[in-house]
Amino acid sequence: MKSRTRTFEAWARRLFKCFACLVVLFTCTAVPALADGEPLTVVSNLSEFIFSLIRAIGLILLGFGILQVGLSLKSHDPSQRANGMLTVAGGIVIVFTKEILNLITGSAGA
C-alpha cells in the first residue's frame, strides 16, 4: 500500500511541475494584440465573419433537410418527411438570419 501511495504522489508532483511550467511559459510569452484600423471596422469585419459562419451552418442544415425529405419520399415514411421539412425550414431561417435581423431592426443592409 505504501508503494502505491508513493507512486501516486510522484505522479501528482510531476503533473504539478508540468502545469507550473506551462503557466510560466504562457505568462512569459504573452504578447499584447494591437488593433489595426478603426474599432467599428474591426467589429464590422468580425460581424461579417460570424454571419458567414452562421450562413454556412444553415446551408449544411438545408442540404441535410433536403436529403432527409428525399429519403423519406423513397421509403414512404411520413414522420421522416415531417422532420425533413422542419430541417429545411430551419436551414432557410438560419441562412437568412442577417437579412431577417436587418428587417426586424430596420437597419440598412451593408
Higher-scoring residue by pLDDT: 44, 86? 86
pLDDT at 2: 56
Q: Are residues 45 and 70 in the same domain?
A: yes
Hey, how many other C-beta atoms are within 10 angstroms of the C-beta on 65?
Answer: 20
Q: Are residues 108 and 79 in the same domain?
A: yes
pLDDT at 88: 94
CA–CA separation, 93 and 30 (whole Å): 41
Domain count, the chain: 2
Hey, how many other C-beta atoms are within 10 angstroms of the C-beta on 54?
Answer: 14
Q: Are residues 83 and 107 in the same domain?
A: yes
CA–CA separation, 83 and 91 (whole Å): 12
Q: Are residues 17 and 59 in the same domain?
A: no
Give me the domain span that covers residue 60. Answer: 39-110
Q: Are residues 22 and 52 in the same domain?
A: no
Mean pLDDT, range 37-46, rounded to an integer: 80
